[in-house]
Structure 1
Amino acid sequence: MKTVQDVRRSWIRTCCGARWKPIRNKLLVRKLGQWVPHALEQYDMDRRADMALYLLTLKRTHTCLDHLVTGDEKWSNYSKVHRRAQWVDKGAHAEDFPKHNVHAKKVMLCIWWSIHGVE
């Protein structure tokens, strides 16, 4: 199914022939789409905020967290995906670009820390 932009472009090409680029530059603007992270539900955002407040109040009242050692893991992709600029109407937004393939080749980075700093 053709979009309005596809119909407009094909009409301009048939009417203008080889003069398509100067007309395209007047009608369209080159823009990059935004990276879109995974979407969180309202429940997930509320749960994260509640847990953060709970941990902040627990830190003030108990010293047991001083002996805790924690860590974090991060999967980093080997492949580098590049966004390409798109020609869109003035005032319009470019299409969003999805992030990396979750099944691509990756390496895991780990860091451990305590209240005294990185271990």
Structure 2
Amino acid sequence: MQRDLYLTERFNEGDTSLKDIPHTGRPVTFDEEALQRELELHPDSTTRDLEKTLNYHYSTIDRHLQSMGYRQVLSRWTHHALTDAQHALRVNICESLLLRPQRKSFLESIITGDESWVLYENVTRKAFWMPSDKRPPTQPKSSPHGQKLLLSVFWDSQGMLLW
């Protein structure tokens, strides 16, 4: 009813065009390029963050992210970030162990052990918007100084002996 009054007022003022005049409210078009640029700059933005930046409702942004092939994923845990030099050193050590003569009988006689602190801390990870065909980024684990328990394990070539 209010729309009809508005049209009547326009007609009485001499405006006989049928074109809609600009008004406030929901935008008619959505700028997917702006959304794409914002995701390239800040892939860890939430839909609420994108809502503030792009001035679209978060559900509209979510719908367009889905239609663009994006999904929200968590980063993969790594124990720590290795440098290229550390990667190369580990490869060299493994290759030298494989080239060692009579390694099978040598390895069968070894009982080895390891210990590790098991953390009770539940650290949350941030979600990222990524295209479906891309892998999520890695994220090093946070501080290892929370509540923890020491786990010791001993094993030989046949399997685990004691834990």
> TM-score with structure 2 length normalisation?
0.49
Match of 2:90 in 1: 48
Number of aligned residues: 110
Q: Would the alpha carbon gap of residues 101 and 59 (structure 1) be closer, same or farther in structure 2, given more than 3 Å must change? A: farther
1-side partners of 2:85 and 2:156: how far apart?
A: 30
Structure 2 residue 62 is matched with structure 1 residue 25: yes
2-side partners of 1:43 and 1:57: how far apart?
A: 21
Show structure 2 runs of 5+ residues with no match: 1-37, 40-44
Structure 2 residue 154 is matched with structure 1 residue 117: no
Match of 1:34 in 2: 75
Match of 1:73 in 2: 115
For residue 27 of structure 1, report the CA deviation from its aligned partner: 3.2
The two structures, once aligned, show a CA RMSD in angstroms of: 3.6
Show structure 1 runs of 5+ residues with no match: none
For residue 96 of structure 1, report the CA deviation from its aligned partner: 6.1
1-side partners of 2:90 and 2:99: how far apart?
A: 14
Identity of aligned residues (%): 23
Could you tell which deviates more after superposition, 50-59 or 93-102? 93-102
Greater relative contact order structure (CA < 8 Å, 6+ sep): 1
> TM-score with structure 1 length normalisation?
0.62
Deviation >4 Å, runs of 4+: 4-8, 92-98
2-side partners of 1:83 and 1:91: how far apart?
A: 19
1-side partners of 2:60 and 2:158: how far apart?
A: 63
1-side partners of 2:62 and 2:53: how far apart?
A: 16
Conservation of the 8 A alpha-carbon contact between 1:112 and 1:118? yes
Structure 2 residue 55 is matched with structure 1 residue 10: no
- Quick check: which has more Rg, 1 or 2? 2
